[in-house]
């Protein structure tokens, strides 16, 4: 993981990296990549350039470009069919973009597999919560951490090597408990995830995403179908985590939520980015009002 990487060797690269992301990526690609990998913050961690996704004759995303700043809570809004979810799927490797490039921490991640992108520290949640219903909440969480020793079948089975696995599992179990407490779902630890309510599943999804130790989390409508009390709780958690240095990109339908919580807002319309700016700028943008005709901004 890049977060635990900074060491003496990299200090020279760090200075170079400060302005590196502004360069043309083609210019000195490998140097930029190398430098950016070891910089936990500074420069936009996520940059999307000219993203296009076509499904047959339908263009779902049409030349979308935007950046997400490090440590920010950025909102992505747009009417239904604006291409928000498809953009998400292209960023996280679920779909391969027809054209365009996605950079994460300066590195071109276009066309990588979802698990490769997740391993780089870019993790997502799903619009419809995808809990692993026949696993307990605790198991759901303990699945997430990257590079566990016991993910090797040989280590899991061989008598001499299993000791280290058990040790790591003990630490993981404690971390999972702490994460559950943070999201106030520790009372559900032994419940099968399939028995959780809709809102609890959303909390579980976010907790699970955090257990991967990500740099950045993409939240796909985390508040859809969540009651107001739980919504408050979820937003509090997101703000807490942002204060800890996590970067969030939030897709949401609810304009009030976006306007009240996100310092930057990206508006998508018909597959491309219509406007980008602070909540106030967006609120007063003629084109945005037009796109959302009839909606009260």
Partner 1 sequence: MSGADAPGDSDSGPSERASEAPESATGALADAARESDLGLVVGTLLAIYAVATLLTFTDGLNSVVGLLETLTFLGLVYALTALALNLQWGYTGLFNIGVAGFMAVGVYTMGMAVRPPDPAFGPPGLGLPLPVGILAGMGMAALLGAIAALPALRLKADYLAIVTLGLSEIVRLSLQSSAFDNFLRETIGAGTGGGRGMGMPDNPVRGLFLVDGQAGNPTPLGELVFGVFGNDGLGISHSILVGWGYIAVLAAFLVGFYLILERLGRSPFGRTMKAIREDELVADSLGKDVNLVKIKVFVIGCALMGLAGILWFGSQGNVSPTPQFRPLLTFYVFIAVIIGGSGSNTGSVLGGIVFAAVLFEGPRRVGATVRGLIDAETPSSFADALVSLDPVAFLAYATDNVAPLQFVFLGLVLVFIIHRRPDGILGDRIETAAAVDLSERPAGGESDE
Give the nearer residue to partner 1 in terms of CB position, either 208 or 264: 208
148 binds partner 1 (CB under 8 A): yes
Rounded-to-integer distance, Cα 133 and Cα 83, Å: 29
- Taking the complex as a whole, the smallest distance from the CB of residue 171 to partner 1 amounts, in Å, to 10
296 binds partner 1 (CB under 8 A): no
The DSSP-derived string for 213-261 is: --SEEEEESTTTT--HHHHHHHHHHHHHHHHTT-EEEEE-S-HHHHHHH
Contact 117, 78 (CB under 8 A): no
Nearest Cα neighbor of 122 from 92, 87, 86 is 92
The C-alpha torsion from 49 through 54 and 59 to 63, rounded to 10°, is 10
**Torsion 145-149-153-157 (CA) sign:** negative
User: Which listed range, 69-77, 103-111, 140-148, 262-270, lies at the site for partner 1 (CB under 8 A)?
Assistant: 140-148
Nearest Cα neighbor of 129 from 226, 244, 8, 55 is 226
Rounded-to-integer distance, Cα 287 and Cα 269, Å: 10
**Size (the chain), residues:** 297
Give the nearer residue to partner 1 in terms of CB position, either 41 or 133: 133
- Taking the complex as a whole, the smallest distance from the CB of residue 295 to partner 1 amounts, in Å, to 31
128 binds partner 1 (CB under 8 A): no
242 binds partner 1 (CB under 8 A): no
Give the nearer residue to partner 1 in terms of CB position, either 70 or 212: 212
- Taking the complex as a whole, the smallest distance from the CB of residue 174 to partner 1 amounts, in Å, to 7
Give the nearer residue to partner 1 in terms of CB position, either 62 or 105: 105
> Exposure string (b/e) for 274-294, b if CB count within 10 Å is 16 or more?
bbbeebeebeebeebeebbee
174 binds partner 1 (CB under 8 A): yes
197 binds partner 1 (CB under 8 A): no
DSSP state of 80: T
**Torsion 198-203-204-206 (CA) sign:** positive
115 binds partner 1 (CB under 8 A): yes
Binder of partner 1 out of 31, 99, 149, 224 (CB under 8 A)? 149
136 binds partner 1 (CB under 8 A): yes
Binder of partner 1 out of 135, 241, 259, 275 (CB under 8 A)? 135
- Taking the complex as a whole, the smallest distance from the CB of residue 173 to partner 1 amounts, in Å, to 6
Binder of partner 1 out of 130, 184, 232, 297 (CB under 8 A)? 130
Chain residues binding partner 1 by CB under 8 A are: 92, 94, 113-115, 118-119, 123-124, 126, 130, 132-136, 138-139, 142-144, 146, 148-153, 155-157, 162, 165-166, 169-170, 173-174, 177-178, 181, 186-187, 189-192, 195, 208-209, 212
């Amino acid at each position: 993981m890049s977060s635990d990487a900074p060491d003496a060797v990299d200090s020279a690269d760090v200075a170079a990296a400060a302005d590196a992301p502004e360069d043309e990526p083609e210019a000195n690609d490998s140097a930029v990549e190398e430098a950016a990998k070891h910089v936990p913050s500074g420069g936009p961690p996520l940059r999307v350039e000219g993203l296009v996704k076509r499904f047959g004759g339908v263009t779902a995303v049409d030349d979308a470009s935007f950046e997400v700043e490090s440590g920010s809570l950025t909102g992505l809004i747009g009417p239904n069919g604006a291409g928000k979810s498809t953009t998400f799927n292209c960023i996280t490797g679920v779909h391969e973009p027809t054209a365009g490039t996605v950079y994460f921490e300066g590195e071109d991640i276009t066309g990588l597999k979802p698990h490769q992108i997740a391993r780089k520290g870019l993790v997502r949640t799903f619009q419809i919560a995808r809990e692993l219903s026949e696993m307990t909440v605790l198991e759901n969480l303990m699945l997430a951490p990257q590079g566990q020793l016991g993910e090797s079948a040989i280590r899991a089975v061989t008598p001499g090597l299993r000791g280290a696995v058990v040790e790591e599992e003990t630490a993981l179990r404690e971390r999972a408990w702490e994460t559950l407490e943070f999201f106030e779902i520790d009372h559900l630890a032994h419940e099968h995830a399939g028995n959780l309510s809709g809102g609890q599943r959303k909390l579980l999804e976010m907790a699970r995403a955090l257990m991967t130790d990500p740099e950045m989390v993409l939240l796909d409508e985390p508040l859809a179908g969540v009651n107001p009390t739980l919504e408050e709780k979820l937003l509090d958690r997101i703000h807490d985590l942002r204060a800890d240095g996590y970067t969030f990109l939030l897709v949401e339908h609810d304009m009030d939520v976006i306007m009240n919580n996100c310092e930057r807002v990206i508006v998508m319309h018909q597959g491309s980015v219509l406007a980008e700016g602070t909540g106030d700028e967006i609120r007063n943008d003629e084109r945005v009002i037009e796109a959302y005709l009839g909606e009260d901004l």
